[in-house]
Amino acid sequence: MLVAAGGNGDRTQHSGRPGLEFTTSSPHRQLAATDVQAANDARRRQANDAVHSAVAYGFRANDRTIPYIATLLDSNGYWAGCGGSLIRPRLVVTAAHCVVDDNLKPQDVKAVYIGLVDWQTDTAQQFEYRRVVRVVRHRLYSPSTVAYDIALLVLNKPAKTKPVRMAPRNFKLNPRSDVLLSAGWGQTESAPDSNHLMVARLPFVSRKDCNDIMEHQLDDYAVPATSLCAGWSTDNEDTCAGDSGGPLVKKRSSGDLLVGIVSYGPSVQTCGGEANLGVYTSVIVMRPWIDAQIKALKV
C-alpha cells in the first residue's frame, strides 16, 4: 500500500494524487526463474544482502498462515515488488498498479511463487512456481483516484495449493468487531523489506471514519467506492511498502475469506504510525467483475 525503498531498479509508483503512494517495492530479490533449486541456493549465498522482517509491527507467518499467497516475479526471476492471492487453481488476484505503471503501460510480471514464506530458507518443495500467461486489468483503473485497483494473473497450469475463498457480494464487515489479517514481504518499522513473510492484524474501519482520517491527512480526498479501509488509530501493525497486491482476509473456522487487496496509503514515512490507515480494493465490491472474468477466461 505505500511506497518502496529507492535504489537501482526501483519500480516504486506514486499515485496521480500527491501524498498517496502505492506499496510496491524494488525487485532486488531472486529465488528462481527456470532452475528453482539452484537459484534458491544462490539466494542463500547472498544472505548478507538480506533485510529483516516485513509488514510494520507484524508477526512472522508460517506455511499454514496464508498458504495461498502469491509472490510476483519479473522476467529475470526477481521479486516484482508485489504480492497476490490464489483464488482459482490457475488464477491470482493482485492490484492493478502492480501490473501497469502510472501511464498504464505494462509492468514486468512474468511468473509467481505460490506459498513462499521465507526467501532464505524455503526449498523448491515448499512452494510452487507458475508462469503468468495473461494479465487482465480492470479497464476503469485510475492511478489518480486509485479506484478499481485490481488485476488478474492467469497461470500456465493449475497450482496444487488450495485457493482462498472470496467473500460473497453480500458479505458485511463490522467495524466494532472484525479484525482482519494482511501479509507481505514489504517495509517494516526497521527495514525496507523482508525475507520472511509477515502478517499484520488490522481492524476493519468504516468508510465514514476512514474518510474523516484521510481527509485530515489529505485535503478533499475521499476513499473510492471500490475500496475499504483497515488499520489502527494508534501506533500498531500496518501494511507498508512492498505489500501491494497481497491479501486482506477474515479468518474463520470454516476457512479464510478474502475481503480485500492491498492498495495504498497516505505516506511510507508513517507505516504503522498513529491514525495511518491502509486502503484496500474491496473484493466484496469487485466480486461481480471477478466472477465475470472467471467465466470469460474459463479458469
pLDDT computed for residue 194 by the predictor: 66
Residues labelled catalytic: 97, 149, 244
pLDDT computed for residue 61 by the predictor: 63
Q: Across all residues in the chain, what is the average pLDDT?
A: 77
Kindly state whether residues 147 and 291 are assigned to the same domain: yes
Q: What pairs with residue 30 in β-bridges?
A: 78
In a domain, 3, yes or no: no
Three cell numbers, residue 291 = 466472477
Kindly state whether residues 103 and 251 are assigned to the same domain: no
Distance of CA 113 to the CA centre of its chain: 13
In a domain, 172, yes or no: no
Mean pLDDT, range 208-232, rounded to an integer: 85
The string of pLDDT tens digits covering residues 88-118 is 999 999 999 999 999 999 999 999 999 998 8
The string of pLDDT tens digits covering residues 55-85 is 444 556 666 789 999 999 999 999 998 999 9
pLDDT computed for residue 28 by the predictor: 45
Q: Using the 8-state DSSP alphabet, how is residue 61 labeled?
A: -
- Find the helix or strand (DSSP H, E) in which 276 lies: none
The string of pLDDT tens digits covering residues 250-287 is 999 999 999 999 998 754 444 544 556 889 999 999 99
Strands 227-230 and 198-205: antiparallel
Kindly state whether residues 188 and 208 are assigned to the same domain: yes
Report which of residues 101 and 233 the model is more confident about.
101
Kindly state whether residues 272 and 291 are assigned to the same domain: no
292: domain CATH number is 2.40.10.10
Kindly state whether residues 37 and 129 are assigned to the same domain: yes
Domain assignment of residue 98, given as a range = 21-53+65-163+287-297
For residue 261, give Cα distances in angstroms to 75, 83, 123, 126, 149. Answer: 23, 9, 27, 24, 8
Kindly state whether residues 97 and 233 are assigned to the same domain: no
The three-state secondary structure class of 114 is strand
With bands split at pLDDT 50, 70 and 90, how would you rate the model's confidence at 233? low
Kindly state whether residues 266 and 291 are assigned to the same domain: no
- Closest Cα partner for 202 from 229, 230, 174? 230
In a domain, 264, yes or no: yes
In a domain, 208, yes or no: yes
Kindly state whether residues 230 and 158 are assigned to the same domain: no
* Total-model pTM: 0.79
Strands 278-282 and 59-60: unpaired
Kindly state whether residues 33 and 155 are assigned to the same domain: yes
In the block, which residue shows the cell 457480494?
Answer: 169
Kindly state whether residues 26 and 149 are assigned to the same domain: yes
Mean pLDDT, range 173-178, rounded to an integer: 91
